[in-house]
Amino acid sequence: MKLLDGKLCAESLVADISRQVAVHVAAGLRKPHMTVILVGNHAPSESYVKSKITTCSLSGFDSSLVRFPETVYEQELLAKIEEINLDPSTDGVIVQLPLPAHIDQQKVINSISPDKDIDGFHPTNFGRMALGQKAFRPATAYGICKLLQFYQVPVVGKHCVVIGRSNIVGKPISIMLSNDFDIGNATVTLTHIETPRELLLDETRRADIVIVAVGIPGFVTPDMVKEGVTLIDVGINRLESGKIVGDVAFDAVAPKCAWITPVPGGVGRMTVAALMINTLIAYQNNFNLV
């Protein structure tokens, strides 16, 4: 069993981004600039935003954090996004999710300019991604692809099973691994909450790669996978003890795996690294550098 170390991979990607930024700045251009919008004081969101801001600095980026109270009106939030859309000094914008119940999350996502949508959630980018066109790819799914690529895990022609069909992870990773991107051309089965248990087991037991994102601690157990499987655990679950665990029963399943992501230290770090890649691309697009 070998670990797919997201921390190591992310550090390598960020170091490469920093080198590219240094070249652009030496040529007289400003630094790339990411703006993050945070609504309320949801503890996990605070942690995620802190990580993004810190990684911006390591990447050589400027960053701005715009805070709103939990009670912010939807129109006020949308007006701020429009202001950022029109601001040429910001290359990419993120609205940290989840949002309070009184705000229409999809409306907020749709209000972000596709040219600054570094999360890759806007329908324009998602549609282009699905068609194999140039687009900002959803960051977590893109991060998983970069992790597999970094460790040279075989993907082409492999059988991949995705557990969970969220717009953030399950749907985009199933599309990206089946499409002909830098990494892909796998045969992908997308399963979800309505997939009968027997069918799920049939699929996971013959899968070469299993990607799970369901938010249930220890959901994947040793009887669900074959020897030599590659297991990507996207889950981040906090137990009552305070311990952070994934969707995989790690200690029990790891001995059967050729490769497995740890939690923490796996996919989470890759999501942030992918946001940096998308921000650099947005910046380069703004200056016609690519």
List residues with catalytic annotation. Answer: 52, 96, 119
The answer to whether 1 touches 254, Cβ cutoff 8 Å, is yes
User: Is 142 within 8 Å of 176 (Cβ atoms)?
Assistant: yes
The CA–CA distances, whole Å, from 245 to 224, 233, 239, 266 equal 18, 10, 7, 11
Tokens, residue 219:
């959901």
Q: Does residue 85 sit in helix, strand or coil?
A: helix
DSSP secondary structure code for residue 223 in this structure:
G
- Vertex 126 angle, CA 259 and 49, to 5°: 65
Helices (H) and strands (E) in the chain, counts: 10, 11
CA distance 227 to 208: 9
**Cα dihedral across residues 190, 192, 195, 196: positive or negative:** positive
